Structure 1
Amino acid sequence: MRRPRRIVPRMLAPSRILRATPAQAGGGREWDDLVDYAEKSIARGSKSFSLASRLFDRDTREKVWLLYAWCRRCDDLADNQDHGGTLGEQEGAERRLTAIRLLTERALDGLPTADPAFDAFGLVARECGLTREMAEDVIMGFELDAKDWRPRSEADLARYCYHVAGAVGVMMAVVMGVDRTDSWMLDRACDLGLAFQLANIARDVAEDDKADRRYLPLEWMVEEDIEPGMIMHPHHRQELADIVARLIRRMERHEAWARLGAAQLPFRSRWAVLAAARIYGAIGRRVAELGPHAWDNRVVIGRTEKLRHVSAAFWEAVRNKPEEPGEAPQWSRGQILIDVRMSQPIPAPNMEPLPDGD
């Protein structure tokens, strides 16, 4: 009898199972498509920065938008929100953080991520020489929030502000053409980011409290006799205003030193940076001026006032003679980075120590 024919399963062609995804910055997406996406993202996510960014020359503006799109998307993923809106369910924050790191790594390797914001980052990183270390410095800020981390000391606050804003300022400076080895210019870019973040923290104390977040140092609260969890209590409004006044004084010092760096930028970039500094500085100063009433309503700078700041920034950029700042800020990028490298592991969630003796 004829032996039954043995059926051997056919293997797929080697080219189909071994072919690697080709590395291509931007994940294969076109530059113009990613720029269009990024422009819409910044228009939704930050009206102030969107306005200031239009003062850059076209090439720089588009690169700034691409970087912003990644920052905005990472922030939204970390907080489970949409363009800085209401915080979503925070369960699963660690998984979202892992996704941010994996997608960023793929973007830097030039691999497609299926997310235009990360593809945009891969493209601008290749164009401008942004590094993994720079990206990780920013991602560590999202990690702090994912761990429900809260600053105990002023040094802790400096660390947080660096990761969420100072490190972004450094990347923005590189996108504007600042050499990665120019530590002085990168320090000034970091100063600007720190100033922006201090203004944001001052303005958003009430919103952060509703979201069960706190960015004011516990030691400052103890000095003002504000009990943990009572920061927005009406009888502590004056003490809170005093703490925020300290934030704004630090903001102004960083802002003044950032202007020295802006003076070294090309005119269009200088104009954009000075406009942004004026707008965010105005927010911080408005909060300080309102004192205990700063959180009755969210402090905003209207479009007309923003345009006045843009106009004033133009003439400031033309003169290009920044005032000699006073004493250097207490926080420096170099010292913050040393503290970061030497810092202890981030505390477990919801572990906010009480003042000594309580």
Structure 2
Amino acid sequence: MSIASEPMPPQLATSTDRAELAALAEDTIARGSKSFAAAAKLFPPEVRRSAMLLYAWCRHCDDVVDGQQFGFARRPAAELPAPMQRLDALATDTMRALWGDTTLAPAFLSLADVVARHAIPARFPIEHLEGYRMDVEAERYATIGETLDYCYRVAGVVGIMMAMVMGARDDRTLDRASDLGIAFQLTNIARDIVEDARHGRVYVPAEWLAEAGLQEGDLTDAAHREAVAGLAARLVDHAEPYYRSAFFGLSALPARSAWAVATAHGVYRQIGLDLKARGADAVGTRISTGRLAKLRHVALGAAKVAATRLPLPLRRPQELYARPMRRRPAPGEERSSGDRRTGP
């Protein structure tokens, strides 16, 4: 999936083609993520359309790698090519889209249009594919820093691309967008510990498992439900400073886009809080927010945006994850893969 040079800019879709792609994307979102669908309705029309097109590519990649449709109905492995073959095909078609090939499936044409329209660097969709490679190779994570590397690639990068769709370009705002994606992914991991383990995926760091006295195989064992609930709660707690950092990033977004992001922020954060509150009873179930709760977060989102129109502290805590391009060694030190220091 590495490339020797930056691809040439892909072509913009025609207005007719883009409308058709957007209709397909909207259907994908409605079936694949009710939470995102609810928040997306708050975006201005053009931002909403690009956000949906970007989501359609992400959803397609996720489904292809997992052998699913819209995040559900996992197909028998015998009916599918090997996981690495599926990933290689995704990477090939993504690169073809970034090079301007207009003969591809709608998900890839959707990505090409968004990348061209919003001048999104090719490295971001490529980094996102790297997250899928980590899944396909069933990587394990020794430390929470390594888990955060994974979260950045599968979700932080998406947050950055979404922020660019909304007009953000400065690194500080993109850092906050990455923080929100990371917070979302930590919430997902906490909610799906058991389900993921059943499919051979473990994102909880090995050091946390050891501290809880657990082996990977214990995650699906009902006898260890209390300990697994403790791990889920720890992940929810770890997400909190990322949600807090992302909140302060709302001030850099146009008000209506900030409203949509604030609503998604509230809905997803609530999933984690509910998961933690239910403890062992939530282990192995899928926590979600109901319609009334979503409407409440729409209203709360508006209040959050109003609050962030006021001067607020913008400095991001240095202990938070630093995305790769923002890492730098201290004077006299060599850069290392474990460096977590942020930029300014």
- State the TM-score, normalized to the length of structure 1: 0.83
Aligned to 2:6: none
Cα–Cα, structure 1 residues 244 and 296, in superposed 2: closer, same or farther, change >3 Å?
closer
Q: Please show how residues 38-117 of structure 1 align to structure 2 within 5 Å.
A: 38-88=25-75, 89=77, 92-117=82-107
State whether residues 158 and 336 of structure 1, in contact with CA within 8 Å, keep that contact through their aligned partners in structure 2: no
Shift of 1:228: 2.7
Q: Give the secondary structure class of the aligned counterpart of 1:289.
A: helix
Q: Give the secondary structure class of the aligned counterpart of 1:170.
A: helix
1:19-58 per-position Cα deviation (integer Å, ceiling 9, x unaligned): xxxx744499711111111111111110000110110100
Shift of 1:165: 0.4
State whether residues 41 and 83 of structure 1, in contact with CA within 8 Å, keep that contact through their aligned partners in structure 2: yes
* C-alpha separation in 2, matches of 1:64 and 1:338: 28
Deviates more, 1:272-281 or 1:258-267: 258-267
Aligned to 1:272: 260
Q: What are structure 1's unaligned runs of at least 5 residues?
A: 1-22, 345-358
Aligned to 2:145: 155
State whether residues 115 and 122 of structure 2, in contact with CA within 8 Å, keep that contact through their aligned partners in structure 1: no
Shift of 1:314: 1.2
Q: Give the secondary structure class of the aligned counterpart of 1:143.
A: helix
Cα–Cα, structure 1 residues 326 and 105, in superposed 2: closer, same or farther, change >3 Å?
closer
Aligned to 1:217: 205
Q: State the percentage of identical aligned residues.
A: 37
* C-alpha separation in 1, matches of 2:314 and 2:126: 31
State whether residues 165 and 197 of structure 1, in contact with CA within 8 Å, keep that contact through their aligned partners in structure 2: yes
Aligned to 2:132: 142
Could you tell me which amino acid in structure 2 is paired with residue 331 of structure 1?
A: L
State whether residues 11 and 116 of structure 2, in contact with CA within 8 Å, keep that contact through their aligned partners in structure 1: no
Q: Give the secondary structure class of the aligned counterpart of 1:260.
A: helix
Cα–Cα, structure 1 residues 322 and 199, in superposed 2: closer, same or farther, change >3 Å?
farther
2:180 corresponds, among 192, 203, 216, to 192
* C-alpha separation in 2, matches of 1:65 and 1:278: 20
- State the TM-score, normalized to the length of structure 2: 0.86
Q: Please show how residues 200-239 of structure 1 align to structure 2 within 5 Å.
A: 200-239=188-227
1:283 corresponds, among 271, 275, 281, to 271
State whether residues 190 and 333 of structure 1, in contact with CA within 8 Å, keep that contact through their aligned partners in structure 2: no
Cα–Cα, structure 1 residues 234 and 80, in superposed 2: closer, same or farther, change >3 Å?
closer
Aligned to 1:314: 302
1:175 corresponds, among 165, 169, 173, to 165
Q: How many residue pairs align between the two structures?
A: 319
State whether residues 97 and 104 of structure 2, in contact with CA within 8 Å, keep that contact through their aligned partners in structure 1: no
Aligned to 1:356: none
State whether residues 28 and 112 of structure 1, in contact with CA within 8 Å, keep that contact through their aligned partners in structure 2: no
- 1:257 lines up with 2:252 in the alignment: no
Cα–Cα, structure 1 residues 70 and 242, in superposed 2: closer, same or farther, change >3 Å?
same
Aligned to 2:342: none
Shift of 1:296: 5.1
Aligned to 1:3: none
Moved over 3 A (4+): 23-29, 321-327, 334-339, 341-344
For the aligned residues, what is the CA RMSD?
Answer: 2.4
Aligned to 1:13: none
Q: Give the secondary structure class of the aligned counterpart of 2:317.
A: coil
Aligned to 2:20: 33
- 1:305 lines up with 2:286 in the alignment: no
State whether residues 25 and 107 of structure 1, in contact with CA within 8 Å, keep that contact through their aligned partners in structure 2: no
Could you tell me which amino acid in structure 1 is paired with residue 219 of structure 2?
A: I
Shift of 1:328: 2.5
Aligned to 1:127: 117
Larger radius of gyration: 1
Q: What are structure 2's unaligned runs of at least 5 residues?
A: 1-9, 329-334, 339-344
* C-alpha separation in 2, matches of 1:258 and 1:274: 9
Shift of 1:210: 2.0
